[in-house]
């Protein structure tokens, strides 16, 4: 038995691969293009694991996809492959169109050809799970109810627009061609192995380095925070029992303003690794110019997933964020390897502007 995971060297995909192999005696074919956020250091513990087969390549490479599908005959495909950083999509949307839309199209077409050639029993058992984001739904006011699966799509950034397009493609390939698909739309993830351009790892590492802790605008943008290991368990549950063609929202029930998240991290670091000068890490907080089209609030209604499939997150924000801070303190080698000169140039470019 084999599954194919695309984007399995990224943050969420890498955690999923690690968790899957810890719980299943099943081979994982891990296809990743190793763009800036793909990191094989995340998978170093699998170096001698015969059940993990890493392939360097893109979901846009139809020839490679055909070869992998025919050679390994996966029973399931989990698609994490995506460009995923909003700020990068604002500066350069082309890569997001190419990977998230054209790449998803190529993957779907390759999978459709493979699936059509399976026998009836294997066709029935086959699953294609597409991992997406709550950002496709747009933004919420403080009074709005959280996003449900029935909310209409109103993406506001090149990133979220490209993910919305990929979701529509997956839906269309199910309704038009019968491909057995499932879609998950998750809230903001955090946890181990997170590339340090996103808010939580950036704040942890900047705090420890004595650098400013940049917060966009007034810091009152609200997000629902989902611990990455909980997200992985939700995906496994949807694969096990999800209804074909359905969408399942995955959330942590943890709405927090960005400023509150940063202050929580600072308080944990004050406890676990106090500054040598006795000052609080919160003194490093600085406000920078807000990004264009910044959505004010995201929130996920995950009741469908709980009601129909019995899934709930295991971590509160308080327990998950403490585990996350501790992980970064315990893994300086991973941090050193990922924070290359190219990464530092990007951070300077993005957050160097005064408020």
Residues annotated as part of the active site: 134-135, 159
Of 123, 183, 98, 133, give the one whose Cα is nearest residue 11. Answer: 133
178, β-bridge pairs? none
Give CA–CA dist 153/168, Å, rounded: 10
Q: What number of CA atoms fall less than 13 Å from residue 149's CA on the CB side?
A: 15
Q: Are 49 and 21 in contact (CB under 8 A)?
A: yes
Give CA–CA dist 286/71, Å, rounded: 52
Alpha helix positions (H), 273-352: 303-309, 317-330, 332-338, 341-351
CA distances from 336 to 41, 195, 248, 328, 340 (A): 11, 12, 36, 11, 8
- Cα dihedral 305, 197, 19, 98 sign: positive
Q: 274: which 2 tokens? A: 């106090």
Other CB atoms closer than 10 Å to residue 118's CB: what's the count? 14
Give CA–CA dist 283/287, Å, rounded: 12
102, β-bridge pairs? none
Phi-psi region of 133 (alpha: psi -120 to 50; beta: other; left: phi over 0): beta
Of 32, 321, 40, 348, give the one whose Cα is nearest residue 201. Answer: 321
């Amino acid at each position: 038995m084999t599954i194919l995971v695309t984007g399995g060297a990224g943050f969420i995909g890498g955690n999923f691969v690690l968790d899957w192999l810890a719980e299943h005696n099943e081979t994982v074919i891990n296809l990743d293009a190793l763009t800036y956020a793909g990191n094989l250091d995340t998978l170093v513990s699998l170096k001698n694991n015969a059940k993990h087969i890493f392939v360097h390549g893109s979901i846009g490479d139809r020839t490679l996809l055909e070869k992998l599908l025919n050679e390994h005959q996966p029973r399931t495909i989990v698609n994490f492959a995506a460009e995923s950083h909003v700020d990068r999509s604002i500066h350069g949307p082309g890569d997001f169109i190419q990977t998230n839309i054209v790449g998803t199209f190529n993957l779907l077409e390759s999978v459709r050809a493979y699936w059509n050639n399976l026998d009836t029993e294997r066709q029935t058992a086959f699953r294609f799970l597409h991992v997406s984001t709550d950002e496709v739904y747009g933004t919420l006011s403080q009074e709005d109810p959280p996003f449900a699966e029935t909310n209409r799509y109103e993406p506001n950034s090149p990133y979220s627009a490209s993910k919305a397009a990929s979701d529509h493609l997956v839906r269309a390939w199910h309704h038009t061609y019968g491909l057995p698909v499932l879609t998950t739309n998750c809230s903001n993830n955090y946890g181990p192995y997170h590339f340090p351009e996103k808010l939580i790892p950036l704040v942890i590492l900047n705090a420890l380095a004595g650098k400013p802790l940049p917060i966009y605008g007034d810091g009152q943008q609200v997000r629902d925070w989902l611990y990455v290991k909980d997200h992985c368990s939700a995906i496994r549950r949807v694969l096990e029992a999800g209804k074909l063609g359905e969408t399942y929202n995955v959330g942590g029930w943890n709405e927090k303003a960005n400023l509150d998240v940063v202050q929580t991290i600072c308080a944990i670091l004050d406890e676990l690794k106090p500054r040598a000068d006795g000052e609080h890490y919160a003194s490093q907080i600085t406000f920078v110019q807000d990004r264009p089209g910044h959505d004010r609030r995201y929130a996920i209604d995950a009741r469908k997933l709980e009601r129909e499939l019995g899934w709930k997150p295991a971590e509160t924000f308080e327990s998950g964020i403490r585990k996350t801070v501790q992980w970064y303190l315990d893994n300086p080698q991973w941090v050193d390897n990922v924070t290359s000169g190219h990464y530092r140039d990007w951070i300077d470019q993005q957050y160097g502007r005064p408020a």
